[in-house]
Structure 1
Amino acid sequence: MKKLYIIFLFLSFASFSQNELATQLSLEEYLGYVKKYHPIIKQAELITSTNEAKLLKARGAFDPKIEVDYSRKEFKDTEYYKKLNSTFKIPTWYGVELKGSYENNSGQYLNPEFKTPEDGLYSVGVTVSLAQNLFINKRMATLKQAKLYAKQGKLEQQLLVNDILFEAISAYLNWLQYYQSYDIYKDYYTNANTRLQNVIKSFKAGDKPAIDTLEANINFKNRQLDLEKSKIKYIKSKFELANFLWIGNNIPMELKENMIPDTNTISNIDTILNTSVSVLFSDNFDNHPKLKLLELKKKNLNINKQLMINNLLPKVNFQYNFLSSKVSNLDAFDVANYKNSLQVSIPLFLRKSRGDLKLAKVKLQNINFEIASTKVSLQNKVTATEQEIESYQKQNDILKKLVNDYTTLVKSEERKFSLGESSIFLVNYREVKLIESKLKEIKNQYEYAKTKSKLIKLLGNLNSL
């Protein structure tokens, strides 16, 4: 199976096999794999599917219903009773239910109340809630909430994908950072080895003292140690990156050993992320998915509050049915033949309903506080992140100048050393400072790019890449 993964990767990047980028994995390609195959992103799609199923279930409360109730009793050749009651009900949006039924009952010991004509008895009628449950009831509230849940599911999916893409981008940038650091240590390891060999030759020729060979050898071993440390960091970052790479059927992907990141990623970060700071801030902040999600939750709680207010009303249910022994036409139902009923129920203290309403109001107050707090928090985080980006840009300019200056110093010191006017100690010291400044530059570029992606994440736009 492991060989299969490697073969797949080889085929995936075969299109680049004819040029110098044959072993490069760009951020765009990498994000393409993440968005298409990552299991958690696929799992995020289930949020929408789950809420759509809940919506379908809520709509089921308004499905027409057929009910048949048949019972019969015979004992010692005597038919005690035979009862058939079939009903067709149509629930409507408000507290009204349409109903048609057919009854056919007979038997020696049948309750006279249930007696029907020989051909049965037909009825057409309506059941109406005159107070509680007229304008809102449990099934209406459930359906409204289910529609909101469907919208909430899409926003929750968007936020989850946002988080995964941010983590994936961070892993790629981390891989790039340690690759560049490892590359620097490789170069200076080679330099240290070359310098050591030159010093040994100069010592043998009598031009340099023995102590210089020891100094050069110590420097070489330090470079060797630094190289090994940077190598393990690079390897670990590569495995962390591989956590986000998958192919179909939930199969993890392995990177080829010679696969490297695109070193032009930082300079092209705005193009890759498909945005810039000025474009980001032209967007309406109220459209942030997190705030929209909270607004939908608020609407959901408002529906619940309306339902609690409804429960304060008395239960007054009225039912009226026209009766007929035949259904040849509508005229068969005479207003003189009918059956009706009225049920009234009023709790004396309404303590349960009042308590539920109070809780609903508290939840609404809580969500209002959360919306206000979240909005201010997001605005402050976005402002702080924007300032971070500006700071990293300034730091990058300073670090570039430092690298150039230290490079000049190292070259000058090496020239003086070759002329016998400097020492190996000063050359090594200058080189250490140059390496430090280059590593700081790489670290700063990593933080700059990561902060850019963090800004897009804060604004909820990463999944639009």
Structure 2
Amino acid sequence: MRNLVKSFSFLFLLSFSTLQSQNFNEEELSYSEFLGYVKKYHPLVKQANLEVTNAQAKLMAARGGFDPKIEVDYNKKEFKGTEYYSLLNSSFKIPTWYGVEIKAGFDDTDGQYYNPQNRTPEAGLASLGITVALGQGMFINQRMADVREGKLNLKLSDAQRKLRAIEVLYQASEAYFEWRRSYNEAELYRNYLGFASTRFQGVKKLIDAGDGAAIDSVEAKITVRNRELNVENGNLKLAKAKLKLANFLWIENVPVELGDLVKPEQNLIQTIEETLRTDAMMVEMESLDSHPKIQSLETKMDILEVNRQLKANSLLPKINVGYNYISDPNYWNTFNADDYKFNIDFSFPIFLRKERGNLKMAKLKIQDLQFDIGQQRLELKNKIKAQQTEIASLRRQKIVIDNLVKDYMTMLNSEEKLFSFGESSIFLINSRENNLVSAKLSQISLENQFYISNAELYKILANPD
């Protein structure tokens, strides 16, 4: 009988070690490869890139305020065969920086009834002149402010693009880690279902040989059924995790589903910090000044500063001076300084209450944003430190759980040896194995927490490029 028990124990352990060392040759989808697909093809990442394109379009529209412009105004009245008037006013304007506008024009007037001030020579009247803002609009005006804000919005859009993209990449990372966790749990349950089935068959043989109690087969069968439930539940979680992961898999605007033979990266714990650039040395090299959230706030500060300058400029009087040299087109080459049009426009509010109020509000907005930037810097700094502390703690916990798994494995192996000598029971082996399975599940869970913690640090750093 003792020899039969030893033979069964040897076959059981051989089967156990064979299953433990099983080599899977399925195609592996690495985490870095997965992130590469998401960055390149996912619609929400592409949508984030539209932020920059939209800002470029706005900048183009703002620069349109300095586009040269042709204007033509023609009016004619004729009644009962009499031409009352025919008035042509045309101009070509070139707006420039610092409130200077160059203008060329041509006027022609004909008819019997028109305002004498509109009278022109027979060939018309040509003009060339300049208009200069000497007060408001000399150093900054609405057109200049629009262009400056357009350039700043382009910088702002890149920061916002990074923040939107990093959110998608974080969600994709969570889906990948959940898939990996579900895959490893399902594999674990399948392996231990195999062990339980082998043990059950061995117990049946012992009972058939008269060397075991019938109740042992019930004990072994209960374990098999529990493992079957675990496998089914694990397969369900894996199927759902794969579908969730598929939400982030696109190639050339076509969604892609994972094949049944594709498996997650198994040495992820060795590569994740390099993939996400979350190791301590890389994080120390990252400057908060380059953080998208800080860049976004500081760019908004620059935009508010442009607005403040515009409001401050409104405290100046409006003084627009214009000079136009005029001449008969036939005598254009003959310069006569006495032929000109000159104009000056002046206006200035007495109390400036509206202007002073707008300027004060602009300054308060800047002050409010300065407080926000200081708070955001502190929060980001502390979040990074907290996340690094969590990662370091999880790394230490990983060492503990690995040793715990080894200890439970040692206990199980010892129990199996005792069983081979007839000094243990199926109940004790199952108990030791259950403890080992629980420890391995905790190991998988802890690894998953480590990956998520690194992804959270990656999200806080917000550098998806």
1:58 has 2:59 as partner: no
- Which digits, 9 at most, give the CA deviation of each residue in 1:256-303, with x for residues without a partner? 112111212222223434563212213333221221121111000000
1 CA distance for matches of 2:281 and 2:410?
37
Q: Contact 1:122/1:327 (CA < 8 Å) preserved in 2? A: no
1 CA distance for matches of 2:134 and 2:33?
63
1:185 has 2:186 as partner: no
The Cα shift of 1:327 comes to 6.0
The Cα shift of 1:171 comes to 1.6
2 CA distance for matches of 1:191 and 1:126?
94
| Gap change, CA 1:415 and 1:439, over 3 Å in 2 | same
1:49 has 2:53 as partner: yes
The Cα shift of 1:329 comes to 4.6
- Which digits, 9 at most, give the CA deviation of each residue in 1:215-269, with x for residues without a partner? 2222221111111111111111111111111111x21111111211121222222
1:254 has 2:243 as partner: no
AA aligned opposite 1:295 = E
1:411 has 2:413 as partner: yes
- Which digits, 9 at most, give the CA deviation of each residue in 1:90-114, with x for residues without a partner? 1111112111111110211111111
The Cα shift of 1:330 comes to 5.1
1 CA distance for matches of 2:159 and 2:209?
75
- Other-structure match for 2:13: none
1:278 has 2:281 as partner: yes
- Other-structure match for 1:348: 350
Of residues 427, 430, 435, the one that matches 1:428 is 430
| Gap change, CA 1:47 and 1:21, over 3 Å in 2 | farther
- Other-structure match for 1:121: 125
Calculate the TM-score normalised by the size of structure 1: 0.91
AA aligned opposite 1:157 = R
2 CA distance for matches of 1:278 and 1:414?
47
Residue identity (%): 45
Q: Contact 1:68/1:86 (CA < 8 Å) preserved in 2? A: yes
1:234 has 2:232 as partner: no
Unaligned runs of 5+ in 2: 1-22
The Cα shift of 1:419 comes to 2.8
Secondary structure of the structure 2 residue equivalent to 1:266: helix
- Other-structure match for 1:10: none
1 CA distance for matches of 2:81 and 2:308?
60
- Other-structure match for 1:317: 320
| Gap change, CA 1:450 and 1:327, over 3 Å in 2 | farther
The Cα shift of 1:20 comes to 6.5
2 CA distance for matches of 1:279 and 1:405?
35
- Which digits, 9 at most, give the CA deviation of each residue in 1:314-357, with x for residues without a partner? 2222222222123655542x222222222222233333323322
AA aligned opposite 1:449 = Y
1:269 has 2:272 as partner: yes
1:288 has 2:291 as partner: yes
| Gap change, CA 1:364 and 1:175, over 3 Å in 2 | same
Q: Contact 2:99/2:132 (CA < 8 Å) preserved in 1? A: yes
Secondary structure of the structure 2 residue equivalent to 1:343: strand
Mapping for residues 135-214 of structure 1, pairs under 5 Å: 135-214=139-218
1:399 has 2:401 as partner: yes
Mapping for residues 374-385 of structure 1, pairs under 5 Å: 374-385=376-387
| Gap change, CA 1:80 and 1:21, over 3 Å in 2 | farther
The Cα shift of 1:401 comes to 0.6
- Which digits, 9 at most, give the CA deviation of each residue in 1:181-221, with x for residues without a partner? 11111111111112222222223333222322222222221
The Cα shift of 1:146 comes to 0.1
Q: Contact 1:393/1:448 (CA < 8 Å) preserved in 2? A: yes
- Other-structure match for 1:297: 300
2 CA distance for matches of 1:327 and 1:41?
63
AA aligned opposite 1:317 = N
1:367 has 2:369 as partner: yes
| Gap change, CA 1:400 and 1:426, over 3 Å in 2 | same
Q: Contact 2:301/2:369 (CA < 8 Å) preserved in 1? A: yes
Of residues 130, 134, 138, the one that matches 1:130 is 134
Secondary structure of the structure 1 residue equivalent to 2:268: coil
Q: Contact 2:109/2:118 (CA < 8 Å) preserved in 1? A: yes
Cα-Cα RMSD: 1.8
Secondary structure of the structure 1 residue equivalent to 2:98: coil
AA aligned opposite 2:394 = Y
Secondary structure of the structure 2 residue equivalent to 1:84: strand
Calculate the TM-score normalised by the size of structure 2: 0.91
2 CA distance for matches of 1:409 and 1:328?
112
Q: Contact 1:102/1:121 (CA < 8 Å) preserved in 2? A: yes
Q: What count of residue pairs does the alignment treat as equivalent?
A: 443
Q: Contact 1:410/1:431 (CA < 8 Å) preserved in 2? A: yes
